[in-house]
Every structure is written in structure tokens, then in C-alpha cells.
Amino acid sequence: MGEKVVAGRFDLSDRQRYRDKLRRCLAGLERLLAEKRFDRPKNLMGLEIELNLLGADGMPRMLNAQVLERIASRDFQTELAMFNLEVNIAPHRLGGRVFDRLAEELRTSLAYADRKAGELDAGIVMIGILPTLDRDDLVSSNLSAVDRYTLLNDQIVAARGEDFALDIEGVERLTCTSKSIVPEAACTSVQLHLQVTPGRFADVWNAAQAVAAAQIAVGANSPFLFGRELWRESRPPLFLQSTDTRPPELQAQGVRPRTWFGERWISSAFDLFEENLRYFPALLPICADEDPLDVMDAGGIPKLAELVLHNGTVYRWNRPVYGIADGLPHLRVENRVLPAGPTVTDVLANAAFYYGVVRALAEDSRPVWTRLPFEAAAANFDAACRYGIDARLEWPRRGRLGGTTQVDAVGLVRDELLPLAEAGLDAWGVDPADRDLYLGVIEERCRRRTNGASWQAATFHRALETGLSREAAFAATTRRYRELTLLGEPVHSWPVGLPEPVPLG
């Protein structure tokens, strides 16, 4: 959501006024598209990573304000709960040794932030969901002290009108309730941004939707929540349920959730912004002074503030973003599929795979979205979240046979998507050394059928076999995870289990 929001109350007229402003913003966007006012292609990518703070015992630490004060960098910001931070990396041009440059920047930034957290006996870890989080950690009193989070929580709670029900059945089942949206803070993610021209937006977004399941299959890193082993990537069901403004009756009527994969392939970025207005009531009806159509009539570029704010409260896994840079408007596809971690190398391998395969799929003469039903792409996403590296996905058959078939996710990635990603990175002008290093990490995960989620689950069960209680096993797994992330080797190379105790004497 980004903008500073001042907490306050809304009256009945605010929502109608906001709806009117949203319609004017949408009309302004339509005019900008028709008049071709958008920035030229720049091949720009951006990266955001959400982080967790934990103590030496592996337990979450509610210290983000104090840690941020010590870090004192605009690159680091608060996130929803006090154990969260976010690091933002400035946009880079896709090409050359971009991933190695990003790796150096990230390692430097994260090491500095970790040292500053260490001054408060805390550390930073990249992981999809911290295994040691307890229900008592995810309560309203642990919201970050930022007005927009308080206001967003209050508005979603008011819209729902009752407690949030969490019910996720995976390897084990979790059922509980929450009086706030704070359980969503357990989900720490990587967001990949790609600036695209309006003419390319639909192809890139459709390609990103089609490949989301494969991203999750190879990148899953969130198997645990509140002491239960759930889906291999438990963030999507948790995010959906913890922000769900729909009571059961509206769910039964088929009202769309605000955390949403979508329901159709698109032909324009306009389709997504228009859906946001048509389906989702305002949560934060805050109106800016600007009239977007008046600004355009005067030859200016409108900020579309209400449209941007509203878009930030609809949690698509691939989200459209409107922005202005250097006086020119632009569009981005924000990919929100991936969990954080495990290491910088793993994060950038996931990024290289995504940017490469999306470029290749978007430019394919027989686009995958013309051969794969949207319902199948959505079902693939759920299957990948449930089963991770062991998922089976529906995918178009090769050759002239047509139709779709069920394939192992690792086979699909290794045999079809990795060659596409290689071609896509070549098209971006990425250096072959960068390309081979980072796509090689994805290939090794497929070969060994290993990702962050499978390592966490296997290590947790090994810890139980040594006689540890579940609580102790979660803490030991988390501590070992952080030790290995600090060493920096990619997760497919990590030894499963806890280190053997060193004999004394």
C-alpha cells in the first residue's frame, strides 16, 4: 500500500465519494492507455523481500522499530507485525551480470541489518513462515506501530463482522480463530517487479499466472504454522483466510475473496483494475485532492491515488501496479507468489527462473494461456502449494496432439520450463555465467527433489526421531535453518537433520 495513511473514522459519504473518485481514476487510466502516454520499455526489474526477526533460541522477537532505528536506511521498512521487516532493492536493468550484482547488494544489506539486529540480541532470517510462531505472537498488540496497519486491520475486521476462521488441512490440520488480520504477518514473501509496456502487459501477466504453480513447486518454503505441518507452501491459504472479509454466507454465494488468483486470462492491464472496482468494496476510502481527469485535460500525468490505494488492498498473486517515475507513468507486473529465502542464492535463482520463463512464454507464438484453461492454472497453483516439489500439474501437450496432460512438476520444470528460462534470459541479455549459475540451482532442486519446505519437514522429523518434543524440534529446526542460511550455500546442498553434538574432552 506504501503511502502514509492517517488512522481515522469514515462516514457514509466517504465511501460514495471514494467510489466516484475510483471511477474517475479508471477513466483516467483508460485515457492514458488510449493516448499511449506510458513510458517506453526499459527492461527494469525490482525486488522486495520480507524478513523475520528472531532470537538465538529461534523464537520471534518483536523489535522491528528498534532494529529499523539502528539500521537507519530507507531500503528497510516496517511490515505488518513487530517481528517483520522488508528490504527494497532499487530497480535494475535486466541484462549482463544483473543477478550477481543483486546478490552482492543483498548480501551486503542483509549482513549489515543482521549486525544491527544483533545489537538487540536478535537476528534476521528469510523464510516463508517462521516455524516457531505461536498464536500468541499473532495478536493485535503485536501490530507494527504504523497508522495504516491499524486502519487496515480495523476496516477488514469491520467488513467481516466476526472472528477470522483459519482451517487448513495438509499433512496435519490446523483450526483456530483470530480477532485480527495479524496472522497474515506470518507470511513473508519475495515480490518480483517487472516494468512492461501496456502492449506487453497482458502477455506477461498471463505468462506469470501460468507459471505460478511451477514457481511454488520449486520454491516452496512454508510447511509449518502454529505447531502444525500443513501445505508445503502454506502462505496462500493462510493469507486468504486471515484477510477474508467474507463471512461464511458470502463465501457460499461465491463472492470473490480479496486474496485472489483470478478467474480468467486478460487482454489488457485495464481488465484487472476494472475488476478491482467491480468486485471489491473500498477498505480505505481516503480521497486525494487531485482530480485525475482535470490533470489530464491540463496535459499532466495523474497520480491516480485512489486507484493505487484500492489496488493495494486486493491481494492478487500477480498484481498490476501503476506508478510514475521521472514524470512518466508506467505499468509493472508484481509477482507475489514466492516465499522468502532460504538464501540469497536461492532467492535470485527463483528470480532468474521467473524473469526468464515469463519472457519466453510471453513471446511464444502459441501462448500457453491459449492452450491451458484458466481453471487448470488455478488448480495447478493449489496443487503446487499443497505438495511442493512433489506436485503434479496439468500442462499443454507438446507437439500437434493438443489438449493437456498431467505431469510431474519437476519434470515440467527440468524438461520444458528451464530451457525456456534459458532462452528468456538470453533474450534479456543476461550474461551466460549468471544464467547458468542461477538456473543451475533450480535444476539441482529438481534433480534432488529438494527445496526449503522439504528440507524443513525432513529436518523436523529427524529432530523428533532424536527424542525432542515437537516444540523443541521446531526451535532446533529453525536455529539450524538460520545457521545454514548464514553459510550461504543453496538449500539443495543442505544436509538434512541437526548437527551431531561435539563430544567433550
HEC per residue, 268-334: CHHHHHHHHHHHCCCCCCCCCCCCHHHHHHCCCCCCCHHHHHHHCCCEECEEEEEEEECCEEEEEEE
Least confident among 20-24, 30-34, 308-312, 396-400: 396-400
H helix or E strand, kind and range, residue 153: helix 147-160
Which residue do the cell numbers 503446487 mark?
Answer: 384
Amino acid identity of residue 481, one-letter, is Y
Q: How many CB atoms lie within 10 A of CB 465?
A: 10
Distance CA 439, CA 350 (A): 8
Distance CA 127, CA 109 (A): 17
pLDDT for residue 1 is more than 50: no
Q: What is the pLDDT of residue 397?
A: 92
Tell me the average pLDDT across 410-432: 98
DSSP state of 450: -
HSE on the CB side for 340, CA within 13 Å? 27
Q: Do 184 and 239 touch, CB atoms closer than 8 A?
A: yes
What is the distance between the terminal CA atoms of the chain, rounded to a whole angstrom?
A: 57
Distance CA 453, CA 221 (A): 4
Which residue do the cell numbers 516465499 mark?
Answer: 339
Q: Give the pTM.
A: 0.95
Q: What is the pLDDT of residue 14?
A: 86
Least confident among 149-163, 231-245, 295-309, 441-455: 149-163
pLDDT for residue 9 is more than 70: no
pLDDT for residue 190 is more than 80: yes
**Residue 161 Rama label (left phi>0; alpha psi -120 to 50; beta):** left
Q: How many CB atoms lie within 10 A of CB 52?
A: 30
Distance CA 338, CA 411 (A): 20
Query: What pLDDT band is residue 148 in, cutting at 50, 70 and 90?
Result: confident
Distance CA 300, CA 9 (A): 32
Q: Do 484 and 342 touch, CB atoms closer than 8 A?
A: yes
